[in-house]
Copies of this chain bind each other. A is one copy, B any other.
Amino acid sequence: MATNDFVRNAWYMAAWAEEVPEGGFLPRKLLGQPWLLWQRSDGEWVMNADRCPHRFVPLSRGKREGDVLRCGYHGLGFDSTGACVLNPFGGDVPPGAKVATLPVVERHGALWFWPGEADLADPAQIPDFAFVTGPDHVRGVLVMDAGYELIADNLMDLSHAEFLHVETFGVNGALLNYGVQTVEQDETGAIWNKWDMDGSEPPAWAAPMLQPGERIDQWIHIRWHAPATMALFVGLARQNTDRSEFVVPPMSNPHILTPETATSTHYFYTRQPGEESIEMVRRVFLEEDEPMVRAAQDAMDGQDFWDLRPVILASDAAAIRARRRLMQMRRAEAAEA
Which residue numbers of A lie inside 8 Å of B, CB to CB? Answer: 34, 51, 53-58, 61-62, 70-75, 84, 87-94, 96-97, 153, 157, 159-160, 162-164, 176, 179, 181, 291-292, 295-296, 299-300, 308-315
The minimal Cβ–Cβ distance linking A147 to chain B, given in whole angstroms, is: 13
**Docked pose: A242 CA to B7 CA in angstroms:** 65
Question: What are 19 A-B contacts with C-beta separation under 8 Å?
Answer: A53-B311, A54-B311, A55-B296, A55-B310, A56-B296, A56-B299, A57-B296, A58-B295, A58-B299, A62-B163, A72-B292, A74-B163, A75-B159, A87-B313, A88-B159, A88-B162, A88-B176, A91-B315, A93-B311
Of residues A71, A181, A315, which shows the largest number of chain B Cβ atoms within 10 Å of its Cβ?
A315
Give the residue name and chain of the B residue nearest to A94 (CB): B311
**Docked pose: A312 CA to B61 CA in angstroms:** 20
Residues of B contacting A176 in the complex (Cβ-Cβ under 8 angstroms): 88-89
* Integer count of this chain's copies in the complex: 3
**Docked pose: A208 CA to B157 CA in angstroms:** 74
**Docked pose: A62 CA to B291 CA in angstroms:** 13
B57 & A295 in contact (Cβ 8 Å cutoff): yes
The minimal Cβ–Cβ distance linking A116 to chain B, given in whole angstroms, is: 22
Beyond A96-B309, A96-B311, A157-B74, whether A292 also contacts B88 by CB under 8 A is no
The minimal Cβ–Cβ distance linking A291 to chain B, given in whole angstroms, is: 8
Residues of B contacting A157 in the complex (Cβ-Cβ under 8 angstroms): 74
Give the residue name and chain of the B residue nearest to A84 (CB): B311
A313 & B75 in contact (Cβ 8 Å cutoff): no
Residues of B contacting A311 in the complex (Cβ-Cβ under 8 angstroms): 53-54, 84, 93-94, 96-97
Residues of B contacting A62 in the complex (Cβ-Cβ under 8 angstroms): 163
Give the residue name and chain of the B residue nearest to A319 (CB): B55
The minimal Cβ–Cβ distance linking A96 to chain B, given in whole angstroms, is: 7
Residues of B contacting A34 in the complex (Cβ-Cβ under 8 angstroms): 299
